[in-house]
Amino acid sequence: MIMLITALLISGGASAVLLSEWSDAVRTVQTNERASSDKDDVSVAMAGDPAMVAHNTTSSTITLFFLNTGMYELNSSTYEVLINGAAPTSTTQTVLPSGSEWNPGHLLEVVLTDTSWSFSDGEDVSVYFVGISERVNGFTHSASTNGEVRLNAFA
């Protein structure tokens, strides 16, 4: 009888521990699934006419526009833009129309500066953009776009 009671107590304790661990595992899986589904709703695209991208040869700047095509706000200051695989020496950005929050449907105007550029009018360059979202359900997600644009050089 003592052995039976001892076995029941041990198996009851073990099942309580297993149930607790199972609950933690299920909670972790649910959190990861929610984060994965939110990632699909974070996206960005190049905006404007890709055949007429402004390139000021005097100030060595290229002006690009990116559209938040997702469902969540993107971070307007944490991003990377590469031109022909190289980062410019400096960038400035403005969110249109709000000025600060890059919400869905808003544009991010990015002015890239690099004095080593020697692009001419009508030259095609490759553009790569990667940015991150603001926190969505406790997670940040990346969004990227790339393409080829034709520069419209002016002085």
Q: List per-residue pLDDT tens for the chain, 155 residues long.
A: 788 788 777 877 777 777 778 777 777 777 666 656 678 889 999 999 999 999 999 999 999 999 999 999 999 999 999 999 999 999 999 999 977 899 999 999 999 999 999 999 999 999 999 999 998 888 899 999 999 999 999 98
Radius of gyration of the chain (CA): 26
Q: Which CATH class is domain 44-154?
A: mainly beta
pLDDT recorded at residue 6? 80
Return the amino acid letter for 90. S
pLDDT recorded at residue 35? 59
pLDDT recorded at residue 79? 96
Extract the tokens encoding 103. Answer: 């919400």
With beta carbons less than 8 A apart as the criterion, state whether 24 and 17 touch: no
In the chain, where the domains are located:
1-39, 44-154
With beta carbons less than 8 A apart as the criterion, state whether 109 and 65 touch: yes
Task: Name every residue whose Cβ is closer than 8 Å to that of residue 145 and which is 6 or more positions away in sequence.
Answer: 44, 45, 46, 66, 128, 129
Alpha-carbon gap, residue 45 to 37, rounded angstroms? 19
Report if pTM > 0.85.
no
With beta carbons less than 8 A apart as the criterion, state whether 113 and 144 touch: no
